[in-house]
Amino acid sequence: MRETKEVRTHTFSLRLSDAEYAVLSMRARAAGHDLAAYIRTVALRNEAPKERKIPAINYQTWGRLGKLTQVLESLQEYLARGGVLDAEQQGELVGVLGALQEDQGHLRVLLLGGTAEDIAG
C-alpha cells in the first residue's frame, strides 16, 4: 500500500544575507537536499535552539569597550574641531588606548572560545 504524500500548501518567506544564503546552500548540498527540504528538515527536528549562555566576562568586556568608544568619539570630535591636547590629556589618551588594546586582546581570546581563566592566566 502506498503512503500518501502530505500536500504542502503554505509558504514562508525568509530573508537571508548573501553569506547566510551561501552557508545554507552549501549545507543543503552537502546533506543531499535542495534548500527548501534542508531548511524544512532542520527546522522541524523538534529540538529547541540551545540557550546561549553569555559569560559574565563578555558583558564586562562589552561594557568597557563601550566606555572606551565614547571617550574616543569625544576625542575625535574635539580634535576635528581643532582642539589641542595638553600633557594631562595626552596621558589620559595613552591610558585609554592602553585599556582599549587590552580589551581588544581579551575580545580576540573570547571570540576564539577562550574563557575568563584564559584571559587571567
Cell numbers 569597550 label which residue?
65
Distance from C-alpha of 84 to C-alpha of 89, rounded to nearest angstrom? 9
Secondary structure of residue 43 in the 3-state scheme? helix
pLDDT, tens digit (0-9, with 9 covering 90-100), for 72-102? 888 888 888 988 988 898 888 888 888 888 8
**CB-CB contact of 15 with 24 (8 Å):** no
pTM above 0.95, yes or no: no
Q: What is the DSSP letter of 112?
A: T
Closest C-alpha among 54, 63, 50, 49 to residue 111: 54
User: Which regions of the chain are under pLDDT 70?
Assistant: 1-4, 48-52, 121
